Amino acid sequence: MSLTAYNHVPLPSFMYGTAWKKEATTQLVQLAVASGFTAIDTANQLIHYQEALVGEALRSLAKKGIKRDTLFLQTKFTSVDGQGGRTPYDASADLATQVRQSFDSSLIHLGTEYIDSYVLHAPISRRGLGAADWEVWAAMEGLYQSGKTKLIGISNVAAGQLAQLCEQANHKPMVVQNRCFAALGWDQEVREICRANGIVYQGFSLLTANREVLADREIQAIAKQLGTGPAQIIFRFAMQIGMLPLTGTTSQQHMKEDLQAEQLALSSEEIQRIETIAL
For position 139, what pLDDT does the model report?
A: 98
Type of residue found at 9:
V
Options 3.20.20.100, 3.40.50.920, 3.30.930.10, 3.40.47.10; which CATH number does 13-210 get?
3.20.20.100
Strands 15-17 and 243-247 turn out to be parallel
Q: What's the rounded Cα separation, in Å, for the pair 228 and 273? A: 18
Cβ atoms within 10 Å of 167's Cβ, excluding its own: 9
Phi, psi angles (nearest 5°) of residue 10: -80, 145
Q: What's the rounded Cα separation, in Å, for the pair 120 and 155? A: 6
Reading the chain (279 residues) residue by residue, the pLDDT tens digits are: 679 999 999 999 999 999 999 999 999 999 999 999 999 999 999 999 999 999 999 999 999 999 999 999 999 999 999 999 999 999 999 999 999 999 999 999 999 999 999 999 999 999 999 999 999 999 999 999 999 999 999 999 999 999 999 999 999 999 999 999 999 999 999 999 999 999 999 999 999 999 999 999 999 999 999 999 999 999 999 999 999 999 999 999 999 999 999 999 999 999 999 999 998
Residues sharing a CB contact under 8 Å with residue 163, sequence separation 6 or more, in sequence order: 193
Q: What's the rounded Cα separation, in Å, for the pair 88 and 109? A: 11
Q: What is the DSSP letter of 88?
A: S
Domain boundaries, the chain: 13-210
